[in-house]
């Protein structure tokens, strides 16, 4: 009898322990799930939430025509300047600046509709045209002058520029595809309007008339007076329509040796897919010489895919072969933009448009 009672007690005790362990295990599992839900999930495993938040702001600004510079998922100076100008253009008050520099690099954006950036990423399939835009590109100028065009060096470079992105950032989003990409491959890119190299030749300068009348027809040019202002202090180019700020893009301005000409100018013409007269004396001292090379057109031409000539000889607003250097280096007297931004600028300007460099 005593043996039976002891055995029954041991059995009950064993069942209780198993039950308690089951409950405890499930509690741990439940708390684990809750903890996971409390951490914002990234849409892409390669980016932590804070960088994805910065990326969403960059895409938002880029789509609103306030260029944050190369898209890289970081709140750099150009992102913050573009945000400031976007707020100005839309009558939004700027949040109070913090004494903490790090806090200022994580701006308040609760008053912006960042949910409109959805999806944040898109999948893009490499095309034959992307592949055909790539070719050998020597480093030395005399060798470049022998080429028929100045192509992209890699498919990755072509697609990064197409989606306004830093090449290293593109590779970060696609770590398993850093090798040679081919037509048909799928990659992840930011959800911005792509810069299409193939459409440059069809661009109609000044064709973008913002606003339409009630009959859905474009209104008279006289009511759409565009003007451009370039700030040599902030390295930002602002576009105005009837004195209202409508767009802004980061730029590189002239060096101490060949400064961008401060003053009031006008656009005298727009050239698409220009070639470039490489004259070292002109670039370094502003003096034209007989020792020069003509570099062919292409996305890696030093003046990019568009040249907007001002009514001052040799000075213009133009693209670049190195978008990562915008704002971080000096030009030779001209104003340089990323190719994806100079295309958008060229849609807003034509001969006669006023350009103020201040």
CA distance 14 to 8: 10
Which residues are bridge partners to 71 per DSSP?
165
The pLDDT-based confidence of 46 (bands split at 50, 70, 90) is: low
The pLDDT-based confidence of 177 (bands split at 50, 70, 90) is: confident
Whether residues 283 and 351 share a domain: the answer is yes
Mean pLDDT of 241-263: 84
The answer to whether residue 40 sits within a structural domain is no
- Confidence (pLDDT) at 336: 95
Report strand pairing: 354-357 vs 226-231.
Answer: parallel
How many structural domains is the chain composed of? 3
- Confidence (pLDDT) at 103: 59
Are 208 and 346 in contact by the 8 Å Cβ rule? The answer is no
The answer to whether residue 21 sits within a structural domain is no
Whether residues 209 and 327 share a domain: the answer is yes
The answer to whether residue 63 sits within a structural domain is yes
Most confident of 10-19, 50-59, 259-268: 50-59
Residue 89 Cα distances to 135, 238, 244, angstroms: 41, 10, 7
Among 8-22, 25-39, 52-66, 95-109, the least confident range = 25-39
The pLDDT-based confidence of 244 (bands split at 50, 70, 90) is: very high
- Confidence (pLDDT) at 280: 82
The pLDDT-based confidence of 39 (bands split at 50, 70, 90) is: very low
Are 337 and 348 in contact by the 8 Å Cβ rule? The answer is no
- Confidence (pLDDT) at 314: 82
Whether residues 164 and 250 share a domain: the answer is no
Residue ending a domain, choose from 162, 194, 226: 194
- Confidence (pLDDT) at 28: 40
170 contact partners, CB below 8 Å, separation of at least 6: 156, 159, 160, 163, 187, 189
Mean pLDDT of 197-220: 69
Whether residues 264 and 353 share a domain: the answer is yes
The conformation of residue 152, written as its DSSP 8-state character, comes to B
141-144: list long-range contacts, CB under 8 Å, 24+ apart.
141/278, 141/293, 141/295, 142/293, 144/293, 144/295, 144/296
The answer to whether residue 257 sits within a structural domain is yes
Residue ending a domain, choose from 92, 116, 140: 116
String of DSSP letters for 200-215: GGG--TT-----B-TT
The pLDDT-based confidence of 290 (bands split at 50, 70, 90) is: confident
Whether residues 255 and 338 share a domain: the answer is yes
Q: Which two tokens stand for residue 239?
A: 């576009």
Q: State yes or no: pLDDT of 332 exceeds 90.
A: no
Mean pLDDT of 196-225: 69
Sign of the CA dihedral 42, 44, 47, 50?
A: negative
- Confidence (pLDDT) at 14: 46
Whether residues 175 and 59 share a domain: the answer is no
Residue 157 Cα distances to 131, 165, 169, 299, angstroms: 11, 9, 11, 10
CA distance 336 to 313: 16
Are 314 and 268 in contact by the 8 Å Cβ rule? The answer is no
Q: State yes or no: pLDDT of 61 exceeds 50.
A: yes
Whether residues 112 and 125 share a domain: the answer is no
- Confidence (pLDDT) at 153: 96
| Ranges assigned E (strand) in the chain | 121-125, 186-190, 226-231, 236-241, 244-250, 263-272, 276-278, 293-295, 306-310, 316-318, 335-336, 354-357
The answer to whether residue 135 sits within a structural domain is yes
CA distance 317 to 8: 92
Whether residues 166 and 183 share a domain: the answer is yes
The pLDDT-based confidence of 270 (bands split at 50, 70, 90) is: very high
Residue 61 Cα distances to 53, 89, 112, 114, 136, angstroms: 13, 12, 10, 9, 34
pLDDT 10s digits, 72-92: 999 999 999 999 999 999 999
Whether residues 86 and 143 share a domain: the answer is no
The answer to whether residue 44 sits within a structural domain is no
Q: State yes or no: pLDDT of 215 exceeds 70.
A: no
Query: For 79, phi and psi rounded to 5 degrees?
Result: -60, -45
Mean pLDDT of 25-50: 48
Residue ending a domain, choose from 83, 98, 116: 116
Q: State yes or no: pLDDT of 351 exceeds 50.
A: yes
Q: Domain range holding 251?
A: 202-357
* Residue 245, SS3 per DSSP: strand
Whether residues 75 and 95 share a domain: the answer is yes
pLDDT 10s digits, 102-150: 656 789 899 999 999 999 999 999 999 999 999 999 999 999 999 999 9
Q: State yes or no: pLDDT of 66 exceeds 60.
A: yes
Task: Report the Cα 101 to chain-centroid distance in Å.
Answer: 23
Report strand pairing: 236-241 vs 186-190.
Answer: unpaired
Are 62 and 191 in contact by the 8 Å Cβ rule? The answer is no
String of DSSP letters for 69-88: SSB-SS--HHHHHHHHHHHH
- Confidence (pLDDT) at 272: 98
CA distance 179 to 173: 13
Q: State yes or no: pLDDT of 353 exceeds 50.
A: yes
Higher-pLDDT residue of 278, 70: 70
Q: State yes or no: pLDDT of 329 exceeds 90.
A: no
CA distance 227 to 242: 8
- Confidence (pLDDT) at 101: 57
208 contact partners, CB below 8 Å, separation of at least 6: 347, 348
């Amino acid at each position: 009898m005593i043996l039976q009672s002891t055995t029954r007690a041991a059995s009950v005790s064993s069942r209780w322990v198993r039950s308690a362990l089951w409950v405890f295990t499930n509690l741990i599992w439940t708390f684990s799930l809750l903890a996971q839900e409390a951490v914002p999930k990234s849409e892409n495993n390669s980016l932590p939430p804070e960088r994805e938040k910065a990326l969403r702001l960059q895409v938002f600004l880029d789509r609103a025509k306030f260029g944050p510079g190369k898209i890289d998922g970081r709140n750099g100076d150009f992102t913050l300047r573009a945000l400031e100008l976007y707020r100005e253009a839309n009558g939004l008050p700027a949040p109070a600046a913090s004494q903490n520099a790090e806090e200022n690099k994580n701006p308040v954006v609760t008053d912006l509709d960042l949910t409109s950036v959805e999806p944040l990423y898109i999948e893009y399939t490499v095309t034959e045209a992307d592949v055909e835009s790539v070719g050998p590109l020597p480093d030395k100028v005399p060798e470049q002058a022998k080429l028929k065009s100045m192509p992209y060096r890699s498919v990755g470079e072509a697609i990064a520029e197409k989606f306004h992105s830093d090449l290293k950032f593109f590779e970060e989003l696609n770590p398993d595809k850093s090798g040679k990409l081919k037509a048909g491959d799928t990659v992840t890119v930011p959800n911005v309007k792509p810069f299409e190299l193939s459409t440059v030749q069809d661009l109609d300068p000044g064709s973008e008339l913002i606003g339409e009348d009630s009959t859905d027809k474009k209104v008279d040019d006289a009511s759409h007076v565009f003007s451009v202002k370039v700030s040599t202090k902030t390295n930002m180019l602002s576009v105005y329509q009837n004195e209202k700020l409508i767009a802004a893009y980061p730029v590189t301005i002239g060096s101490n040796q060949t400064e961008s000409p401060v003053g009031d100018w006008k656009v005298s013409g727009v050239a698409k897919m220009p070639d470039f007269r490489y004259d070292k004396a002109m670039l370094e001292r502003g003096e034209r010489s007989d020792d020069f090379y003509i570099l062919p057109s292409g996305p890696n031409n030093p003046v990019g895919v568009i040249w907007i000539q001002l009514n001052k000889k040799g000075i213009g607003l133009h693209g670049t072969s190195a978008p990562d250097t915008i704002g971080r280096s000096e030009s030779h007297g001209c104003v340089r933009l990323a190719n994806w931004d100079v295309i958008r600028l060229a849609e807003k300007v034509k001969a006669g448009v006023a350009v103020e460099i201040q």
